[in-house]
């Protein structure tokens, strides 16, 4: 049984990818007013530092250093522990929960130039041998003889997902030192880290690479963790894989990647038939167990970058209007807990964040300027739909209508919220009369953004006889 909290159904969280604690803190008042309810921050633990990375004049180190823990000290590019704690407390005052991306499946592997032997906070480490005095060699898996091996452990290979359950959870993920999470002492150290975050006021955690940890081990870890923590786990399930998302649903929510896949397939095919949670490929999780998005930071790094050979399997910010409509649809649809990505342009897989801060200190932001932060969460099409979702509260879908071209969809949620989507070229000729929404003047949330009153475009519903 699961007594862990989940976010309110009409809430929306935003992943402020690579933002500093000072910038997140400065954003929370705006977020609270806009109707957001939570922020996922980048991993706060001590990570590796790399030298000689490309574009080091304009950019910070590659974003992926954050997924290589050296210790659980809260020292990262985003700031130190007191800045972190200050952010958490400040955001709470504005009704914004902070969710932490916790990387507990593995420890650092290194790469790019000299990986260095000390982490960002000065902790000495050596691949698979020791990480300060936190972990030593016996805390890692040593599963020899499966696939190719590095320092006495196998490396996860694509075919393992369909043929070797234990390899997925005991071999190394992309060269990263795989913790033996079946060991009680390892479980205890991870639980201690999560409890420390909860004590600082953190409301939830995204469990990175959860599929690569056994769900029983994960359950044992969570047994020692403060029960008010919201948990959502990254289980990147493909069809017919041996490790399934369902194994993790009793522990918390699971990231429902099949939502992103369904949205990508329908919008790319420009055919909106079979749009919705009942059409997810090879099954779907119950709504209160699922976290959904159109894209995440990994997906953006796979798409439209010349140096990466992984296929693009989601819409990304580079898809322009189609992306905006797909995000709006995700926010309008009452399934799962939605997450919006707020990122920056990257033209290669690992490209780091802009060096300039988001908040300039005079109250203005650098969002949208070339080579800077996108701030997708502030776009009117997205922040307006955050408000729309709140106004729809917990009403279900009614009056779904699909045009014969399959390029136009409309539906209502209760008697206050209605959406018309058009991804075709012809003008929308929806069945405007077929709704519970009474005659009156309504705000076009998609155009208006999140402002309190409707100052821009309004839409009039009249009764036709």
The answer to whether 110 contacts ligand LAG (rule: CB under 6 A) is yes
**Which positions ≥6 away from 118 have C-beta within 8 Å?**
49, 70, 124, 125
Min. distance of Cβ 322 from ligand LAG in angstroms? Answer: 24
C-alpha distances (whole Å) from 410 to each of 240, 273, 322, 385, 399 are 33, 12, 16, 15, 8
Tell the smallest beta-carbon distance from residue 461 to ligand LAG (Å). 43
DSSP result, 109-154: ---SS---SB-TT--BEETTTEETTTEEGGGB---TTSSSEETTEE
CA distances from 134 to 111, 138, 139, 188, 263 (A): 21, 12, 10, 11, 42
Burial 363-383 (b: 16+ CB within 10 A, else e): eebbbeeeebbbbbbbbbbbb
Binding residue for ligand LAG (CB under 6 A) from 31, 164, 177, 209?
Answer: 209
Q: How far is the CB of 36 from ligand LAG (least distance, A)?
A: 22
Q: Is 68 in the site for ligand LAG (CB under 6 A)?
A: yes
Examine residue 160 and tell whether it contacts ligand LAG (CB under 6 A): no
- Choosing from 164, 168, 176, 372, the residue that interacts with ligand LAG (CB under 6 A) is 176
Could you say which of 234, 237, 295, 381 is catalytic? 234
Q: Is 17 in the site for ligand LAG (CB under 6 A)?
A: no
| Residue 171 makes contact with ligand LAG by CB under 6 A | no
**Whole-number Å distance between alpha carbons of 293 and 298:** 12
Angle between helices 321-332 and 380-392 (to 10 degrees): 10
- Judged by CB under 6 A, the residue of 79, 109, 119, 354 near ligand LAG is 109
Question: Does the protein bind ligand LAG through residue 174 (CB under 6 A)?
Answer: yes
Select the residue interacting with ligand LAG from 67, 248, 333, 388 (CB under 6 A): 67
- Beta carbons of 365 and 66 less than 8 angstroms apart: no
Catalytic residue check, 208:
yes
Among 23, 46, 97, 234, binds ligand LAG (CB under 6 A): 234
- Distance (Å, whole) CA 407 – CA 246: 33
Give, as one character, the DSSP assignment of residue 439.
S
How is residue 269 written in tokens? 């095919």
Q: Is the dihedral of CA 148, 152, 156, 162 positive or negative?
A: positive
Among 6, 12, 103, 255, binds ligand LAG (CB under 6 A): 103
* Region of residue 345 (phi > 0: left; psi between -120 and 50: alpha; otherwise: beta): beta
Q: Is 19 in the site for ligand LAG (CB under 6 A)?
A: no
Whether 178 is catalytic is no
Binding map of ligand LAG across residues 288-327, x = CB under 6 A, - = no contact: ----------x-----------------------------
18 binds ligand LAG (CB under 6 A): no
Does 111 help bind ligand LAG (rule: CB under 6 A)?
Answer: yes
Pairing verdict, β 97-102 and 204-207: parallel
Choose between 117 and 369: whose C-beta lies nearer to ligand LAG.
Answer: 117
Instruction: Write each residue from 47 to 66 as x if it is in contact with ligand LAG (CB under 6 A), else as -, in one continuous string.
Output: -----------------x--
Site string for ligand LAG, 178-197 (x = CB under 6 A): --------------------
If one counts every other C-beta atom within 10 angstroms of the C-beta of residue 306, the result is: 8
Q: How far is the CB of 435 from ligand LAG (least distance, A)?
A: 40
- Residue closer to ligand LAG, measured from CB, 296 or 376: 296
Closer CB to ligand LAG, 176 or 327, in the complex: 176
| Nearest CB to ligand LAG, comparing residues 109 and 354 | 109
- Smallest distance from ligand LAG to CB 174, Å: 5
CB 164 within 8 Å of CB 184: no
- The active-site residue out of 10, 208, 217, 237 is 208
Distance between CA atoms of residues 354 and 81, nearest Å:
22
Cα–Cα separations (whole angstroms), residue 450 to 36, 181, 266, 321 = 10, 44, 28, 19
Distance of closest approach, residue 89 Cβ to ligand LAG, in angstroms: 27
Residue 10 vs 18, nearer CB to ligand LAG: 18
Q: Using DSSP, how many helices (H) and how many strands (E) does the chain show? A: 11, 22
DSSP secondary structure code for residue 253 in this structure: E
Strand ranges for 364-430 from DSSP E: 397-402, 408-413, 417-422
Task: Give the tokens for residue 191.
Answer: 């639980």
How many of the chain's residues bind ligand LAG (CB under 6 A)? 15
Whichever of 34 and 260 has its CB closer to ligand LAG, that residue is 260
| Per CB under 6 A, 154 contacts ligand LAG | no
Active-site residues, by number, are: 208, 234
Chain contacts with ligand LAG (rule: CB under 6 A):
64, 67-68, 103, 109-111, 173-176, 208-209, 234, 298
């Amino acid at each position: 049984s699961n007594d862990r909290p989940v976010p309110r159904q009409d809430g929306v969280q935003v992943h402020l990818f690579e933002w500093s604690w000072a910038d997140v803190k400065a954003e929370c008042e705006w977020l609270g007013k806009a109707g957001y309810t939570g922020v996922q921050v980048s991993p706060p633990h001590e990570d590796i530092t790399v030298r000689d990375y490309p574009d080091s004049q304009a950019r910070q180190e590659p974003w992926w250093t954050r997924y290589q823990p050296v210790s659980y000290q809260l020292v990262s590019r985003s700031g130190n522990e007191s800045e972190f704690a200050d952010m958490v407390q400040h955001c709470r005052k504005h009704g914004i929960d902070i969710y932490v991306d916790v990387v507990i499946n593995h420890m650092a592997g290194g790469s790019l130039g000299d990986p260095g032997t000390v982490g960002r906070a000065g902790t000495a480490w050596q691949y698979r041998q020791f990480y300060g005095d936190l972990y030593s060699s016996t805390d890692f898996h040593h599963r020899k003889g499966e696939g190719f091996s590095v320092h006495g452990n196998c490396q996860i290979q694509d075919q393992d997902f369909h043929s070797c359950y234990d390899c997925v959870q005991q071999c190394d993920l992309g060269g990263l030192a795989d913790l033996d999470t079946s060991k009680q002492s390892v479980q205890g150290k991870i639980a201690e880290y999560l409890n420390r975050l909860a004590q600082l006021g953190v409301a939830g955690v995204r469990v990175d690479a959860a599929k690569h940890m056994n769900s029983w081990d994960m359950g044992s870890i969570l047994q020692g963790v403060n029960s008010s923590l919201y948990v959502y786990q990254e289980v990147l399930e493909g069809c017919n894989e041996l490790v399934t998302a369902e194994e993790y649903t009793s522990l918390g929510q699971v990231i429902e990647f099949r939502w992103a896949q369904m949205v990508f397939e329908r919008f790319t095919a420009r055919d909106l038939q079979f749009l919705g949670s009942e059409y997810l490929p090879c099954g779907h999780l119950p709504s209160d167990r699922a976290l959904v998005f159109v894209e995440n930071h990994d997906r953006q790094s796979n798409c439209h970058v010349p140096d990466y050979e992984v296929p693009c399997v989601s819409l990304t910010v580079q898809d322009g209007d189609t992306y905006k409509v797909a995000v709006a649809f995700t926010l309008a649809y009452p399934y799962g807990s939605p997450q919006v990505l707020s990122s920056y342009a990257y033209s290669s897989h690992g490209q780091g964040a802009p060096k300039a801060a988001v908040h300039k200190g005079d109250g203005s932001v650098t969002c949208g300027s070339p080579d800077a932060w996108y701030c997708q969460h502030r776009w009117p099409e997205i922040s307006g739909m955050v408000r729309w979702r709140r106004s729809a509260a917990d009403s279900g879908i009614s009056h779904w209508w699909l045009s014969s071209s399959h390029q136009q969809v409309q539906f209502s949620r209760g008697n206050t919220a209605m959406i018309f989507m058009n991804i075709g070229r012809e003008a929308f000729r929806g069945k405007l009369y077929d709704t519970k929404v009474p005659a009156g003047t309504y705000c076009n949330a998609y155009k208006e953004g999140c402002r309190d009153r409707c100052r821009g475009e309004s839409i009039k519903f009249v009764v036709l006889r």
